[in-house]
């Protein structure tokens, strides 16, 4: 299975802190999946390899690491209260527009047929939030939720490189609450990108 720029996407989602070298690795699980996390986000690609044993490979040195990788599968919620379908192309453009610096946080206000996005730095600069609204299908509970713009943008960029050319340009986003990890997927969870929201205020 080919995913464009896969190594770059894996390195982005991995930790760069020397204090936790195991999180600088991609984990090859015996179930055929690979996973990488920096403890704030998680990228999983299922049915990727046919190795019979699990191992960890440092994404910088490419050397094997015999440490114990976190059990990332327990981080993925099994039940959700909100499900969103939105254009991947639209979402990535909004995250780029509002992600005016790499530390930017973007708040999503959910309603039945759209999401209204706003960021913090523009609110401080202009005395009020700059808002962008986009059409979306939102079912279940509605609430406000905030993310690192960088993480969501890089999640979308991964999906743009992972999806087949004929794939519908939609991303499915499943949520439990404004503070629980959120699952992004494009193809029945073959590729899963989990992003942890941030607490605002």
The domain that holds 165 is classified in CATH as 3.10.150.10
Same domain for 98 and 120? yes
Based on the number of CB atoms within 10 Å of its own CB, is 177 exposed (0-12), middle (13-18) or buried (19 or more)?
middle
Based on the number of CB atoms within 10 Å of its own CB, is 44 exposed (0-12), middle (13-18) or buried (19 or more)?
buried
Task: Report CA 1 to chain centroid distance, whole Å.
Answer: 20
Q: Which of 174, 185, 178, 190 is nearest to 84 (CA)?
A: 174
Domain count, the chain: 2
Q: Does 3 score more than 70 pLDDT?
A: yes
The first and second tokens of residue 192, run together, are 């899963």
Same domain for 13 and 40? yes
Same domain for 61 and 22? yes
Given 21, 43, 75, the domain boundary residue is: 75
Extended beta strands in 5-54, E state: 25-28, 34-37, 41-45
The average pLDDT across 163-180 equals 86
Q: Which of 131, 137, 64 is nearest to 94 (CA)?
A: 131
The first and second tokens of residue 176, run together, are 């439990």
Q: Does 123 score more than 80 pLDDT?
A: no
Q: Which residue has the tokens 């959120």?
A: 182
Q: Does 1 score more than 60 pLDDT?
A: no
Share of the chain above pLDDT 70, in %: 93
> How many other CB atoms are found less than 10 A from the CB of residue 22?
17
Q: Does 118 score more than 80 pLDDT?
A: yes
Given 57, 75, 93, the domain boundary residue is: 75
Same domain for 125 and 165? yes
Q: What is the pLDDT confidence band of residue 130, given thresholds at 50, 70 and 90?
A: confident
Residue-wise pLDDT for 143-169, tens only, equals 999 999 999 999 999 999 988 766 678
The average pLDDT across 94-123 equals 88
Quote the pTM value.
0.92
DSSP state of 68: P
* Helix, strand or coil, per DSSP, at residue 135: strand
Given 54, 75, 96, the domain boundary residue is: 75
């Amino acid at each position: 299975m080919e995913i464009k720029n896969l190594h770059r996407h894996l390195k982005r989602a991995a930790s760069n802190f020397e204090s936790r070298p195991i999180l600088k690795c991609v984990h090859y699980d015996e179930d055929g999946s690979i996973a990488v996390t920096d403890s704030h986000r998680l990228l999983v690609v299922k049915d990727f390899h046919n190795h019979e044993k699990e191992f960890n490979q440092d994404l910088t040195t490419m050397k094997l690491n015999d440490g114990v990788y976190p059990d990332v599968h327990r981080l993925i919620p099994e039940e959700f209260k909100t499900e969103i379908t939105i254009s991947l192309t639209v979402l990535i453009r909004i995250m780029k527009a509002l992600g005016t610096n790499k530390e930017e946080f973007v708040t999503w206000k959910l309603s039945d047929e759209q999401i209204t996005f706003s960021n913090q730095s523009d609110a401080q600069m202009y005395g009020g939030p700059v808002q962008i609204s986009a059409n979306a299908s939102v079912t279940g509970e509605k609430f406000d939720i905030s993310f690192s713009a960088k993480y969501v943008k890089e999640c979308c960029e991964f999906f743009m490189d992972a999806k087949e050319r004929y794939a519908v340009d939609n991303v499915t986003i499943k949520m439990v609450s404004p503070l629980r990890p959120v699952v992004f997927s494009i193809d029945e969870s073959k590729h899963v990108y989990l992003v942890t929201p941030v607490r605002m205020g």
